[in-house]
Amino acid sequence: MSYAYLAATPGLQYNYSLYAIPIGWVIGMVPLWWAAPIANKYSKGSYDNANPKDSWANIDSKPIPLQIKGRIKRAIAAENNTHTNLPLFAAALVAANAAHVDVGSLHFHASVWIISRIAYTFAYIYIENRKASAIRSALFGVGVLSCFALIIKAANKYSSMPW
């Protein structure tokens, strides 16, 4: 089943692409929502919601197994990275919507970004091997390329407009 077929099915001819922005924010928060209770499970009081940045800065001093501690640190890094990447995605999506890029492209590239960020988050948290971490970098690249594709499509639309 092709994407063109799916885009032609009832409902997908409408533009739902901007919903991807809050979905992206939630994807960014999930690692934090996972890390805080895990830290407290292994060391009660490790995560203090009143001082969250201090909690993460002091995580090395907590009696948490090294593998879990590494995953917690990478989860926080994944959360930070997604929220650093989210403005690029939002700007690309808004620019493409404002330029009236076709809805199939909007949905496709928004979906690629969302899927790549979900996979990136899991890869960031669970890949501990330096060589395998290239998978995480590739997933990051896929998400960025989907943003660039939207920006280029928007720029192409705008370049054909007489100003």
Per-residue pLDDT reduced to its tens digit, 22-52: 999 999 999 999 999 999 999 998 998 999 8
Predicted confidence (pLDDT) per residue in 53-95, tens digit? 898 999 999 999 999 999 999 999 999 999 999 999 999 999 9
State whether CATH 3.30.390.30 applies to domain 16-157: no
Tell me the backbone φ, ψ of residue 64, rounded to 5 degrees: -115, 140
Predicted confidence (pLDDT) per residue in 113-128, tens digit? 999 999 999 999 999 9
Global pTM reads 0.88
Q: Cβ–Cβ contacts within 10 Å for residue 104, how many? A: 15
For residue 134, is pLDDT > 70?
A: yes
For residue 13, is pLDDT > 80?
A: no
**Do residues 118 and 62 lie in contact, with contact meaning Cβ atoms separated by under 8 Å?**
no
> Residues 88-108: what's their mean pLDDT?
96
Q: Which residue intervals of 3-132 are DSSP H helices?
A: 3-8, 20-42, 52-57, 66-98, 103-126
**Residue type at 58 in one-letter notation:** N
What pLDDT was estimated at residue 160?
85
Lowest mean pLDDT among 9-13, 42-46, 108-112, 146-150: 9-13
What pLDDT was estimated at residue 14?
85
Distance separating alpha carbons of residues 139 and 95, to the nearest angstrom: 23
Local structure of residue 2 (DSSP, 8 states): -
